[in-house]
Chains A and B, each alone.
Chain A
Amino acid sequence: MEKIITKNIRPEGEPPDLKAYEKAGGYQALRKALGMDPKAITELVKASNLRGRGGAGFLTGQKWSFVPVGKDAPHPKYLVANADEMEPGTFKDRLLLEGDPHQLIEGMIIAARALEADVAYIFLRGEYTLAAQRVRRAIAESYARGYLSKNILGSGYSLEMYLHISAGRYMCGEETGLLNALEGKRANPRTKPPFPQISGLWGKPTIVQNVETLANLPHIIQNGAEWFKGLSPGQSGGSKLYGASGKVRQPGLWELPMGTPIREILEEYAGGMRDGVKFRGLLPGGASTDFLVEEHLDVRMDFDDVHKAGSRMGTGTMIILDDKTCPVGMVRNLEHFFAQESCGWCTPCWSGLPWAEQTLTAIEEGRGEAHDLEILAHITRWVAPGNTFCALAPGAAEPLQSALKYFREDFERHIKEKRCPWR
């Protein structure tokens, strides 16, 4: 497949500046979009079936359709690019931010135009220092060229765009937590409804969209919905940035058709397992997704297919577990992360996740007891969707509940032998 959202990216080089980006066809989609009725942009995005690349996979056009538009709509309205990539094992948005910042900016102006938004923020995590430099420079170039600010290219449409650099906390990636963080508060989640599309930043309509999702927009505007759907063999359409980390031969990121089978990504792109280790399982899309194992290797990496296999595609960046790595230790590491990053807002999360971490630590250190596995299973049910304010704790339950299913013998061996067999 030809590269779409990574076509301008040279991994070790500088990103295209404005001139180079324009030379490669950049900002033509914006010109086209400015000539379209805002509602027609939303309709086109709807028809393309573009699903959110941040993890949840919600239909982008449908999400936009909840935002009030027209002359009676409340203003200001906001668009936020969620560049708070903090899902462990995920490193795809960093490539887009560092490698082609103008593509993101163009996608954002197009989205903002569809929503008739007045202000756009890029919410960037604090540790992405190189991305910050490059995005800041690209925003300045766009302002200087008249792609931002008042009356963009004489269209009568105006948009301001600012870079917000966060100070770090996983909760900021959660849509409503992010809104609180942008307002200068603790990033606790908000109760829904009202949904941000109606009442988001400072009570005004707001759309929060992942970086990779926004990067697709210029291409959809330029080439149309049918072209986009035709890029992939699966249901969802488009390309997807897939990644692999862990003990594979060539860890990395690849832009491939949405719906590429896991086996193909692992064997052809990641080069298979390193010498001396065997594949045992993987988290398909970040820390908060259920394990898949050998029997799932022919599953296509697409939202619905991975869901049917009992997990979530999430961010599409896979973390590989090998036979020389202890699954209990790995899950303990994950639950340590989630327990630490819990904002403390609701009880199942602040109480349940440290309990899970402590129990897993006990098992890993040879202090586990027979009923610990029941306790862990209980916690995964206790923090299930519906019992918590946001998706953090349900996400934390996913690798734990699936590890208990697929690696149960390993847990039992720890408890029986009173030690970690991998140490």
Chain B
Amino acid sequence: MLSPEERQEIEAELAHYPHKQAVSIDAMKIVQRHRGWVSDESLRDIAEFLGMSAADLDGVATFYNLIFRKPVGRHVIMVCDSVSCWIMGCDRIREHLSSRLGIKLGETTQDGRFTLLPIVCLGACDHAPVVMVDGDLHQDLDPQRLDGILEKYE
């Protein structure tokens, strides 16, 4: 069941568009903000609320990089792997994160603290390599700086 807050937030978005289905992405992001991810149950609830089939909505969900259809950790680390970051050494950043956290891309640490994901160009190429943690951009990284940054995310 969608919570009253979730319903209210989705309804506020509905006012911006002439058709209900247009808020499908917003609705999933709202639910994800409250619950961390979009479960099958949430997907069915949102689809029902918007008058569309769950299959259609899942087609939308799986198209976009930032909708999580699996549970994620308390913090999501997204490592930019696009061209400028690659030239500036993003492989080293990713390998460092993998070995420090003991997880590969797409995995979550056992304590549920971090999920590690790849991301396409974050638009900060003049400060490559970069990562984004929970929506915060961290630039000009090297493994040492990265360690300091991770400590801030409990």
Contact = CB atoms under 8 A, between A and B. Distances in A.
Given A91-B125, A245-B84, A130 B25 contact: no
Nearest to B90: A333
A398 interface: no
Most buried by B among A94, A127, A186: A127
Interface stretch (A222-230, A232-240, A317-325, A407-415): A317-325
Contacts of A252: 126
Given A89-B82, A287-B83, A333-B83, A187 B63 contact: yes
Contacts of B120: 86, 88, 168, 170, 337, 340-341
Given A162-B16, A169-B65, A243-B125, A184 B23 contact: yes
B67 interface: yes
A393 interface: no
Most buried by B among A182, A183, A243, A340: A183
B86 interface: yes
A244 B137 CA distance: 19
Interface string A81-125: 000011111110110000000000000000000000000010001
Interface string A159-174: 0001011111110000
Given A86-B120, A89-B121, A251-B125, A246 B18 contact: no
A202 B17 CA distance: 10
B65 A325 contact: no
B122 A127 contact: yes
Contacts of A86: 120-121, 123
Q: How large is the interface on B (under 10, 10 to 19, 20 to 34, 35 or more residues)?
A: 35 or more
A253 interface: yes
Q: How large is the interface on A (under 10, 10 to 19, 20 to 34, 35 or more residues)?
A: 35 or more
B106 to A, nearest CB: 13
Contact of B87 (A181, A185, A246): A246
B150 interface: no
Interface string B63-77: 111110000000000
Interface stretch (B95-103, B108-116, B127-135): B127-135
Nearest to B127: A251
B126 A128 contact: no
Interface in B1-46: 16-19, 21-26, 28-29
B65 A89 contact: no
A74 B144 CA distance: 59
Contact of B19 (A87, A126, A168, A202): A202
B88 interface: yes
B60 interface: yes
Interface in B40-66: 59-60, 63-66
Contacts of A85: 123
B119 interface: yes
A333 B60 contact: no
Contacts of B125: 88-91, 243, 245, 251, 317, 319
Contact of A184 (B24, B82, B135): B24
Contacts of B22: 182-184
A244 B127 CA distance: 11
B37 to A, nearest CB: 13
A76 B19 CA distance: 13
B153 to A, nearest CB: 15
A319 B87 contact: yes
A168 B124 CA distance: 16
A149 to B, nearest CB: 13
A181 B137 CA distance: 25
A298 B136 CA distance: 39
Contacts of B136: 129
Given A184-B23, A186-B59, 18 more contacts: A87-B121, A129-B136, A129-B137, A167-B29, A167-B64, A168-B119, A184-B19, A184-B25, A184-B60, A186-B63, A187-B63, A243-B125, A244-B126, A245-B88, A245-B126, A251-B125, A252-B126, A337-B121
Interface of B: 16-19, 21-26, 28-29, 59-60, 63-67, 78, 81-84, 86-88, 119-128, 132, 135-137
18 contacts: A89-B84, A90-B121, A90-B123, A127-B66, A127-B123, A164-B16, A166-B25, A168-B119, A184-B23, A186-B59, A243-B125, A245-B84, A245-B126, A247-B88, A319-B87, A329-B86, A330-B83, A333-B83
Q: Lowest 7 CB-CB distances: which A-B pairs, in order?
A: A167-B64, A168-B65, A245-B125, A251-B126, A184-B24, A88-B82, A245-B84
